[in-house]
Chain A
Amino acid sequence: MNKTENNKAWFLVLPVFLLVAFSAVIPLMTVVNYSVQDIFDQNTAYFVGAEWYREVLQDPRLHDSLIRQFIFSGCVLLIEIPLGIAVALMMPTKGKAASLSLILLAIPLLIPWNVVGTIWQVFGREDIGLFGWALNSIGIDYNYASNPGDAWFTVLLMDVWHWTSLVALLCYSGLRAIPEAYYQAARIDRASKWAIFRYIQLPKLKSVLVIGILLRFMDSFMIYTEPFVLTGGGPGNSTTFLSQTLTKMAIGQFDLGPAAAFSLIYFLIVLLVSWLFFTSISHLDKSE
Chain B
Amino acid sequence: MAEIHLKSLAHSYSPAPQSPSDYAIREMDHVWHQGGAYALLGPSGCGKSTLLNIISGLLSPSEGDVLFDGQRVNDIPPEERNIAQVFQFPVVYDSMTVFDNLAFPLRNMKVDEGKVRAKVLEIAEILELQELLDRKAKGLTADEKQKVSMGRGLVRDDVSAILFDEPLTVIDPHLKWKLRRKLKQIHEQFNLTMVYVTHDQLEAATFADKIAVMYGGQIVQFGTPRELFEEPNHTFVGYFIGSPGMNILEVTRVEGGVMFKDQFIPLSDHLCQFLNQNPSANVKVGIRPEFVHVCDEAIKGAYSCDVRHVEDLGTYKILTMELEGQILKARLDEDQAVPENTAWISFPSQWLKLYVDEYLVPDEPSADQDAADSQDRSDSDPSQTTEVRQA
Which residue in A189, A202, A204 is a CB contact (below 8 Å) of B104?
A: A189
Q: Write out the residue numbers on chain B whose beta carbons fall within 8 Å of the beta carbon of A192.
A: 108
Contact partner of B109 among A179, A181, A190, A203, CB < 8 A? A190
Chain B interface residue count: which class? Answer: 20 to 34
**What residues of chain A lie closer than 8 Å to B105, measured between beta carbons?**
188-190
**B152 near A189 (CB under 8 angstroms)?**
yes
Residue from B53, B83, B138, B149 in contact with A185 in the complex, judged by beta carbons closer than 8 Å: B149
Give the residues in chain A near B93, CB-CB below 8 Å.
199-200, 203
Closest B residue to A179 using CB positions: B89
Interface SS majority for chain B: mixed
Let me know if A288 is at the binding interface, CB within 8 A.
yes
With a cutoff of 8 Å between Cβ atoms, the chain B residues found around residue A188 in the complex are 56, 78-79, 83-85, 105, 153
Interface residues of A in 170-228 (CB under 8 A from B): 179, 181-182, 184-185, 187-192, 195, 199-200, 202-204
How far apart are the CA atoms of A182 and B95 in the complex, in Å? Answer: 13
List CB contacts (< 8 Å) of B77-114 with chain A.
77-79, 83-85, 87-89, 91, 93-96, 104-105, 108-109
- Complex CA gap A200/B109 in Å reads 18
A185–B87 CA distance with the chains assembled, in angstroms: 8
Provide the residues of chain B in CB contact with A203, threshold 8 Å.
93-95
CB distance from A60 to the nearest CB of B (A): 45
A195 to B91, CA, bound (A): 15
Chain B residues, CB < 8 A from A195: 104, 108
Question: Closest CB-CB distance, A281 to chain B, in whole Å?
Answer: 14
Of all chain A residues, which has the CB nearest B87?
A181
Residues of A within 8 A of B136 (CB): 288
Cβ of B253 to closest chain A Cβ, rounded Å: 50
Check if B254 is an interface residue, CB within 8 A of chain A. no
**Are B79 and A185 in contact, with the CB atoms below 8 A?**
no
Q: Would you call B58 an interface residue if the criterion is a C-beta within 8 Å of the partner chain's C-beta atoms? A: yes
Report the nearest A residue to B92, measured CB to CB.
A185
CB-CB under 8 A for A199 and B91, given A187-B58, A187-B77, A188-B79: no
Type the 1/0 row for A65-82, where 1 means its CB is closer than 8 Å to any CB of B: 000000000000000000
A182 CA / B138 CA spacing, docked (Å): 14
A149, B85: Cα distance in complex, Å: 55
**Residues of chain A from 40 to 64 with CB closer than 8 A to chain B in the complex:** none
Q: Which residue of A lies closest to B86 (CB)?
A: A185
Interface of A is mostly: helix
B149 proximity list for chain A (CB < 8 A): 185
Nearest CB of B to A194, in Å? 10
Kindly list chain A residues whose C-beta atoms are within 8 Å of the C-beta of B53. 184
Nearest neighbor of B163 in chain A, beta-carbon distance: A188
Nearest CB in chain A to that of B91: its residue: A185
A181 nearest in chain B by CB position: B87
Q: Which residues of B contact A191 (CB under 8 A)?
A: 104, 108
Distance in angstroms from A188 CB to nearest chain B CB is 5
Query: How far does the Cβ of A201 sit from chain B's closest Cβ, in whole Å?
Result: 11
In Å, the complex CA distance between A255 and B77 comes to: 70
- Best-surrounded residue of A188, A190, A191, A202 (most CB of chain B within 10 A): A188
User: CB-CB < 8 A to A202: which residues of B?
Assistant: 95
B46 nearest CB across to chain A (Å)? 20
Q: Tell me whether B83 and A181 are in contact (CB under 8 A).
A: no
Q: Are B108 and A181 within 8 A (Cβ)?
A: no
CB distance from B203 to the nearest CB of A (A): 20
Once bound together, how far apart are the Cα atoms of A179 and B91, in whole Å? Answer: 9
B60 to chain A, nearest CB (A): 13
Interface set of A (CB-CB < 8 Å, partner B): 179, 181-182, 184-185, 187-192, 195, 199-200, 202-204, 288
In the assembled complex, 5 residue pairs joining A and B whose CB atoms fall closer than 8 Å, in A order, are A181-B88, A181-B89, A187-B77, A188-B105, A191-B104
Known A179-B91, A187-B78; further 15 A-B contacts with Cβ < 8 A:
A181-B88, A184-B53, A184-B58, A184-B87, A184-B91, A185-B91, A187-B58, A187-B77, A189-B105, A190-B109, A199-B93, A199-B96, A199-B104, A288-B136, A288-B138
